Structures are given as C-alpha cells and as structure tokens.
Amino acid sequence: MTSAPTRQHFEEAAAAIRGFSPLQPRVALVLGSGLNPLADQVEDAVVVRYGDIPHFPVSTIAGHQGRLVIGHLKGNPVIVMQGRAHYYEGYSMQQVTLPVRVFRQLGVEILMLTNAAGGLNKQYHTGDMMLINDHINYVGMAGENPLRGPNDPELGPRFLDMSRTYDRELRELALAVATEEKLPLHQGVYVGLAGPTFETPADVRFLRMIGGDAVGMSTVPEAIVARHGGMRVMGVSGISNVAIDVIDGEGEASHEEVLEAGALLVPRMTSLICGVLARL
C-alpha cells in the first residue's frame, strides 16, 4: 500500500476478521517484544495470521509472532495481537496504527498496549513493570504523527486533546491489582522514539532530563489513534533492560536481552493484565 489507508481499508480488514470469528471483542490487547505468550491464556481461541487479513502490516521482527488471537480472557471478549509492526520496519505511521483503526471498526472499547522498554528512571530494574501515565511523542514532535494528513471526521477530530491519554480508571484498577498481587509496578512517562538504534548514553541522559522514565519504539502512535477513535487506553511497559548512560560502560543493549527479559516479564504481565480484565 503506497498511499495512506482509509476507512474502506479498515472496513475490509474488519470484515475479514469477522469472517474468521463472529465474536464482538470489547478489549484489544497488543503484546510487545517477548510478551507474545500472554495470549496462551485466551480461551476458545481462534487464531488468524496477519498475512491473512487484507491491509494488515506484518511484523518482520523476532519475538513478534504476527497473529491475532480472538477469544475470551477473564470473561471478556478479547482480540489479542501477538506482535506489532513498527515504524522502523519501514511502515508509515498510518500503516503501523491500522490494526487500532480496525479494532475500532470491530467495536473495541478498550485498548491495552504492552511493550518492552528500556528503563531510564534510576529506580527501575530489569523485570519491573511501568504503568504508563503519560508519554512523550518524540517522533511526533519531529513531524511524524499518525494523524498527519487529511482527517476523516467519521473516525475522529482534526485536533485531538492528549491530556487524558491513559485512562484514569484503568490506571487505578492496574495499581489496585499490583498492590493486591504484590507485583512490581512503577508509574511513569514513556518516551516513544523511532528506533531501530538503541540510545547513546547522551540520548539516555537527555531523555531522563526531559522527564522520561522508560524508552521504546512503539505504543505512542497506537495510543494516539485509539484516543482519536474514542477508545480508552491502558499502557504497560515491561522493563527489559536498563538504558546505559555512560560511555564505554559495561554491557550493551541487544534485542536478545529484550526477549530474555520477556520470559521474566510474561508471568507478571499476565497477572496484571488478567487482574485488570477480571475487574472490568
């Protein structure tokens, strides 16, 4: 697809998904790097490969299975993305966020976004989780926003408020679950970068200075498009590594490290997400 996808594309993709499963999902869950096994919890699952859905972007990255899992999780009809496409893979912001538009067409009300992220906050350790309470749209500030271009008023407003992006009630539910189940959950600001390079030590010190607690290469465009469509958003980062802030320090960032931390994070993330779903 060369030009930006339109409502017709979203409707075609939604119709194809309805052909695989008649379930009307209430919640959509996007699983980031290393977190795909969370979908194993879905009951009565129907699995659809992204490649079998017209216009759906296909992830090219290890740790992203590229499948939709449709079924029930803690009594809620859900549609789960095992893996996502990223801007750094060469997709446009509109392509990256097409699944969110399609979920809206399917009637989804709540979008739960997960990702693997580097910890900027010095209190954060590998394996911790961070409830996203706000984000810094670094790529958007440079001009690449998924809402750039003609606005379809049927989909949402031209100018979008972003002061309540991460739903307060959902955040309160997540905090309650974490307290009850003794899960390590911070709250903080996610910085969305384009990737695919990891940050330099100077980048890390800068991102910390501007108020970032965790840094990653996804989530922000999806949150924007979900809010544009009037969905409620929750976001959780799995801290897969601690961002390196000194030159010539020990260790280096790698995708393998991110996936390994995923194994540690899956049970925690599963408890948190399932706990919230059970209380919806």
| Residues 118/173, Cβ–Cβ less than 8 Å | no
Q: Does 222 bind ligand HPA (CB under 6 A)?
A: no
How far is the C-alpha of 10 from the C-alpha of 26, rounded, in Å?
A: 17
- Catalytic residue check, 86: yes
Q: Which of 85, 89, 145, 199 is catalytic?
A: 89
Residues touching ligand HPA, count (CB under 6 A)? 13
Which residues 179-208 are close enough to bind ligand HPA by CB under 6 A?
198-199
- Catalytic residue check, 241: yes
| Residues 36/82, Cβ–Cβ less than 8 Å | yes
- Catalytic residue check, 89: yes
Q: Quote the longest CA-to-CA distance of the chain.
A: 54
Backbone torsions φ then ψ of 125, nearest 5 degrees: -120, 155
How far is the C-alpha of 169 from the C-alpha of 234, rounded, in Å?
A: 9
Q: Per-residue contact track with ligand HPA, 94 to 123, x per CB under 6 A?
A: ----------------------xxx-----
- Catalytic residue check, 166: no
Q: Which of 13, 39, 116, 129 is catalytic?
A: 116
Report the nearest approach of ligand HPA to the CB of residue 191 (Å).
9
Give the residue, chosen from 215, 220, 233, 259, that forms a contact with ligand HPA under the rule CB under 6 A: 215
Report residue 154 as tokens. 């049927």
Strand, coil or helix: what is 67? strand
Residue 56 or 198 with smaller CB distance to ligand HPA: 198
Report the nearest approach of ligand HPA to the CB of residue 19 (Å).
34
Contacts of 19 (CB under 8 A, 6+ apart): none
Report the nearest approach of ligand HPA to the CB of residue 126 (Å).
10
Q: Per-residue contact track with ligand HPA, 132 to 151, x per CB under 6 A?
A: --------------------
Report the nearest approach of ligand HPA to the CB of residue 249 (Å).
13
Report residue 239 as tokens. 């801290």
Contacts of 32 (CB under 8 A, 6+ apart): 84, 113, 114, 115, 116, 216, 218, 219, 238
Binding site for ligand HPA (CB under 6 A): 116-118, 198-199, 215-217, 240-241, 243, 253, 258
